Amino acid sequence: MSEVLKVGLLGLGTVGSGVVKLIENHQQELRHQIGLPVQVEKVLVRDRSKARDVVLSEESVTLYGEEIVENANIDVVIEVMGGITLAKEYIVRALKNGKHVVTANKDLMAVHGAELLSLAAENGCDLFYEASVAGGIPIIRSLTDGLAADRITKMMGIVNGTTNYILTKMTKEGLDYEEVLAQAQALGFAESDPTADVEGLDAARKMAILATLGFSMDVELDDVVVRGISSVTKTDLEYCEQLGYTMKLIGLADRDGDRVEVSVQPTLLPKEHPLAAVNDEYNAVYVYGEAVGETMFYGPGAGSLPTATAVVSDLVSVLKNMRYRVNGHDGAKPLHKKTLKADNEVFAKYFFRLKVLDKAGTFSAITSLFAEKDVSFEKLLQLPIKGEAAAEIIIITHTTDKETYEYLHRTLAALDVVQSVESSYRVEGGK
Amino acid sequence: MSEVLKVGLLGLGTVGSGVVKLIENHQQELRHQIGLPVQVEKVLVRDRSKARDVVLSEESVTLYGEEIVENANIDVVIEVMGGITLAKEYIVRALKNGKHVVTANKDLMAVHGAELLSLAAENGCDLFYEASVAGGIPIIRSLTDGLAADRITKMMGIVNGTTNYILTKMTKEGLDYEEVLAQAQALGFAESDPTADVEGLDAARKMAILATLGFSMDVELDDVVVRGISSVTKTDLEYCEQLGYTMKLIGLADRDGDRVEVSVQPTLLPKEHPLAAVNDEYNAVYVYGEAVGETMFYGPGAGSLPTATAVVSDLVSVLKNMRYRVNGHDGAKPLHKKTLKADNEVFAKYFFRLKVLDKAGTFSAITSLFAEKDVSFEKLLQLPIKGEAAAEIIIITHTTDKETYEYLHRTLAALDVVQSVESSYRVEGGK
């Protein structure tokens, strides 16, 4: 090992600049921990002339990733460029060249994580990815090390800051989805094309990564059932409030032996649940382990410096491993084979909001449908709709299975007395 | 390294039994992680004939710690017996014999941690102590690894379950301290001698450990300024509620460069603060890092299996290190020399509850005292006391220093118009 640890950086966007700053500003701490100074040797950028808030010498900037992944002076490659194809190509070449890799790339890890971790192990290299899930929260490490002795059976994550910001704003200020989304875009909290965030895909990627690791199973992105928040209305949120719940976009990973369910969907949580108090752009991951019980990890899910702390803490781990020559041992293959749960094995409570005809027999027609399927009510609310011969009925059921839920949804919609099923959501976290 | 990893256990109380169960029940996971089976070879007990909920063979139980710490078959010693003198003696002997040590002993680590960590490093041994703070929450690991790249400047912990249970009960049910304490004792949530918990000493030990680690400074138990919850009244809690605050016993560690403050005291937090929602016997540690910003780690602070998960996750770390022959490298000496802050460097807001004469001039006498010291009010409430010619005044100040706070407290108490300063508390977490 040389006298200076040389790092190559693929990408100099929000996270990349944060990494450069953190390495510069924390030299003393880094040296205390790893015994030698760290230097950013080369940085891949898209445009040499772009104005930046970090100062880099002319020769440390390059337009060619090869100058990093093929560079004999570089020990560790940090990939913060995003995207899948090119990032993967660079990481593969870096690993084959014996370089350790730290990545913040959830898209890549969700899709090619298993393959890349194998490749890293074959080459005796570390491949760490703490920053790919929940930014500054050390959740990957907590799952691999902190809760190493436990058997994790459930995880619920608020793992997308944009949607949490939108739902918090809608709830607190009684605003509509479109209105808050526009504000969030203006403030830079939401992308100009917000699809991946608001439709739950970003959260799904993170849940695939968490479930793979937490359950030690090969959970793939396609295994995640996804529903976003774009159909959530302020009316739904008002009823949630009234009934003592808060709506969050929850990534859920649940297992029962080797039978597993992974989903992302708007979910009602009781106000007392630890996740219910996670507001604005903050993230949190709730983890239930058989032995430890309930734990939760809370923090900033994104942002330049928060995400950079996760990247640099991975870098520190790589460097400690290099010092003792023990890299490449962390990519343990999944212990369990997964089987996805069938719909009749997925249990939850459900919220229904129905628009119904305000006449005799309506209530009874609806309740007998639920009775027929043996589903009882936890909460029930009927309210007239002003100026219409219609009413709203809000139902929160006791626990039932997803097959029954879908049957109820379908059958309710077809009832004569029901004008429409306005909305329905999963409810979690109660007794 | 042998074919079976042999562990010696000092103590078979609540945590010790949990460790035995966890090792037995999670053999498959442990073997997956560390590559070989783990066996509890010998257990130190006080009384051979005591009924237990774990089954151990006759020959694996001993009354003599020597049979563990001097046992050539044992690779790792787990100390869960508690107390200081004898536990320390055993740990010292174990380390000198080249055995790695995992301990859950906060009393010992708070007082002799630095010395024992040095001894471990000298002998090439690991000494891990995740279970000593906040039971099942992997906070030690998060500070050493997860936030390794950051500079931590503030930590606030709810690190004592008994006091959090008592304050939660008092707040939610409007009960007096004595009443709740008696209930908690009856339910086994509080010891028959609750002094160490309710007077804040237990929390102080944990804060000394967290501050030492988080700030990389030699913070000692004596550096912690401590006040318990035994003087908190239900009246205080009612006013907290009314003003939008929740009272918690907060362990605070704050630094400004190398100038540090560590305290444990009943503290008002705004209801929106992440720690305000941590209820009952749960623990949480809020960590502020310069780069990462706000993070929080939440979970069970005590209990047999939760604490055992922390012990066994340390054991897994020891075993991984053994596998790669890299033990004994984690006891880094503190990087910074600490200086304790003087009172005029300690800044906070304060809550005062005063009983005053209900007559003209009272209010003005009080407000001019605050004005004289340039302390303004964030919130102010005056209420008549029924049937007396007296009133209560509740004040929440803006930020001031502790020296000024103490002057105000003293001078208020001496004012003619003030019958008594009924209570006063620190207020944290606002803007």
What is the mean pLDDT of the segment spanning A39-59?
91
Q: Does residue B153 share a domain with residue B122?
A: no
Residue A291 counted as domain residue: yes
Q: Are residues B241 and B380 in the same domain?
A: no
- Within a domain: residue A144? yes
Are B286 and B311 members of one domain? no
Do the chains contact at A292 and B274, CB–CB below 8 Å? no
Q: How far apart are the first and last CA of chain B?
A: 55
Per-residue burial over B10-21, b = 16 or more CB atoms within 10 Å of its CB, e = otherwise: bbbebbbbbbbb
Which helix (H) or strand (E) element contains residue B177? helix B177-187
Number of DSSP helices (H) and strands (E) in chain B, helices first? 14, 18
Cα gap B95→B92, rounded to integer Å: 5
Partner residue opposite A151 with nearest CB, options B29, B290, B324? B29
Annotated binding site: which residue ranges of B?
Answer: 10-17, 106, 191
Average pLDDT over residues A219-225: 96
Does residue B274 belong to the interface with chain A, where contact is any CB pair within 8 Å? yes
| CATH number of the CATH domain containing B386 | 3.30.70.260
Give the SS3 label for residue A192. Answer: coil
Q: For A6-38, how does the pLDDT look when each residue is reduced to its tens digit (9 = 90+)?
A: 999 999 999 999 999 999 998 888 888 888 899
Size of interface A-B (CB pairs under 8 A): 189
**pLDDT tens-digit series, residues A80-130:** 999 999 999 999 999 999 999 999 999 999 999 999 999 999 999 999 999
B309 → closest Cβ in A277, A291, A294: A291
- Domain-embedded: residue B230: yes
What pLDDT, on a 0 to 100 scale, did the predictor assign at position A145? Answer: 86
Digit-coded pLDDT (tens) for A342-396: 999 999 999 999 999 988 889 999 999 999 999 999 999 998 888 888 999 999 9
Regarding whether A147 and A189 lie in a shared domain, the answer is yes
Looking at the domain assignment, is residue B276 inside a domain? yes
CATH of the domain at A45: 3.40.50.720
Q: A336 lies in a domain?
A: no
Enumerate the active-site residues of B: 206
- Return the structure tokens found at B360: 């003209």
Q: Which domain holds residue B362?
A: 343-427
State yes or no: pLDDT of A216 exceeds 70.
yes
Q: Which one of A235, A268, A300 terminates a domain?
A: A300
Mean pLDDT across chain A: 93
pLDDT of residue B334: 84
Q: Does A337 touch chain B (CB under 8 A)?
A: no
B32 contacts in chain A (CB < 8 Å) = 216, 332, 335
Residues of chain A contacting residue B277, judged by C-beta atoms under 8 Å apart:
272, 274, 277
Known binding residue A16? Answer is yes
CATH of the domain at B226: 3.30.360.10
Regions in chain B scoring below 50 on pLDDT: 431
DSSP string of B354-402?
Answer: EEEE-STTHHHHHHHHHHHTT--EEEEEEEEETTTTEEEEEEEE-SEEH
A381–chain B Cβ distance below 8 A for any pair: no
pLDDT at residue B49, rounded to an integer = 85
pLDDT band (50, 70, 90) for residue A2: low
**Domain match, B177 and B68 both:** no
The domain boundary residue, chosen from B300, B332, B351: B300
Q: What is the pLDDT of residues A132-155, one digit of tens each?
A: 999 899 999 999 887 878 899 999
- Rounded Cα distance between B382 and B157, Å, is 32
A300·B305 Cβ contact <8 A: no
B329 near A CB under 8 A = yes
- CB spacing of A145 vs B142 below 8 angstroms: no
B288 with B318, same domain? no
Asked if B292 and B149 sit in the same domain, the reply is yes
Same domain, B21 and B110: yes
- Of B180, B34, B147, which is closest to residue B7 (Cα–Cα)? B34
For residue B383, give both structure tokens: 């209420």
Residues B280 and B191 in one domain: yes
Question: According to the model, what pLDDT value does residue A332 have?
Answer: 64
Q: Are residues B47 and B125 in the same domain?
A: yes
Contact A145 B22 (CB under 8 A): no
Q: Are residues B30 and B175 in the same domain?
A: no
Residues A150 and A142: their CA atoms lie apart, in Å, by 11
Q: What percent of chain A has pLDDT over 90?
A: 81
In a domain, B334, yes or no: no
Residue B48 lies in a domain: yes
Whether residue A312 lies within 8 A of chain B, CB to CB, comes out as yes
> Is B260 found in the same domain as B112?
no
- Cβ-defined contact of A150 to B33 (cutoff 8 Å): no
Q: For chain A, how many structural domains are there in total?
A: 3
For residue A431, the model assigns a pLDDT of 47
Specify if B338 maps to a domain.
no
End-to-end CA distance of chain A: 55
Q: Which of A206, A248, A338, A341 is catalytic?
A: A206
The confidence band for A430, taking pLDDT boundaries of 50, 70 and 90, is: low
Q: Do B313 and A146 touch (CB under 8 A)?
A: yes
Strands A339-340 and A293-300: unpaired
